[in-house]
Structure 1
Amino acid sequence: MKDKLAQSERRFAELIWRLEPIGSGELVKLCSREMGWKKSTTYTVLKNLCEKGIFQNQNAVVTSLLKKDEFYARQSRRFVEDAFGGSLPKFLAAFIGGRKLSDTQAAELKKLIDEHKES
């Protein structure tokens, strides 16, 4: 699966995730109304996202092969790999960027680390 989506593809994907299962004809009407797309544009973008393994269009019904959370989790992991050499501590240091964590945030992070720590 290719993780990167153009902004228009992401908007389109968000529509599908929000409304699935959705008929492809209904999707065409919705994209015309909300995005100003022609039928051919909708089907081209849908085809591209199906080829990327994110959605499927079977019997004129569009559903996801990857749920929204799964897709964004993969994107996040790819970003950490590409930008920080896979180092989660480097990513967190950059993300926090000198800000202070609240006691609640620090406790949540500690809990998350403990739950995912290798034994």
Structure 2
Amino acid sequence: MKDYKLSKSETRFAEIIWQHEPIGSGELVKLCEKEMKWKKSTTYTVLKNLCDKGIFQNQNAVITSLLKRDEFYAKQSRRFVEDAFGGSLPKFLTAFIGGRKLSDSQAAELKKLIDEHKEE
């Protein structure tokens, strides 16, 4: 799996792009200056790093995502389950639930997901 691990500031930066894409690089610089107190050089350095990671692209000074927000977080979630629970979804769910009780609607939703994704 490609390394899509981001720092907190990179994740915040990515969120700005996802919220405003397609976004011109000049507008991105202004947003990052306002929201993150970054200088122009910082914005371009982080943008280049995320483009190199294959998350965004910068074509003709317009930034768009190569990896959509939902896809990014899905990959992060799978990586976490792989790293922390040896890829075992049941072990992850057991830890996540942690002795709490599920509501009837939560249990029904989980059953539905399992049925939809079960191997035949």
Q: Displacement of 1:22 after TM fit?
A: 0.2
Q: Which amino acid aligns with 2:71?
A: E
Q: Displacement of 1:8 after TM fit?
A: 0.4
User: Which consecutive aligned stretches of 4+ in structure 1 deviate over 2 angstroms post-superposition?
Assistant: none
Q: Displacement of 1:33 after TM fit?
A: 1.1
Scaled by the length of structure 1, the TM-score of the pair is 0.99
CA distance in 2, matches of 1:85, 1:46: 32
Q: Partner of 2:33 in structure 1?
A: 32
SS of residue paired to 1:62? strand
CA distance in 2, matches of 1:36, 1:92: 39
Q: Partner of 2:64 in structure 1?
A: 63
Q: Which amino acid aligns with 1:13?
A: A
Q: Partner of 1:2 in structure 2?
A: 3
The number of equivalent residue pairs is 119
CA distance in 1, matches of 2:43, 2:32: 7
Scaled by the length of structure 2, the TM-score of the pair is 0.98
Q: Displacement of 1:2 after TM fit?
A: 1.5
Q: Displacement of 1:68 after TM fit?
A: 0.1
Q: Partner of 1:88 in structure 2?
A: 89
Q: Cα deviation per residue 1:15-63 (whole Å; 9 max; x = unaligned)?
A: 0000000000110011111111000000000000000000000000000
Q: Which amino acid aligns with 2:25?
A: S
Structure 2: any 5+ residue segments left out of the alignment? none
1:98-113 matched pairs, under 5 angstroms: 98-113=99-114
SS of residue paired to 1:100? coil
Q: Which amino acid aligns with 1:20?
A: E
SS of residue paired to 2:54? coil
How large is the Cα RMSD of the aligned pairs?
0.5
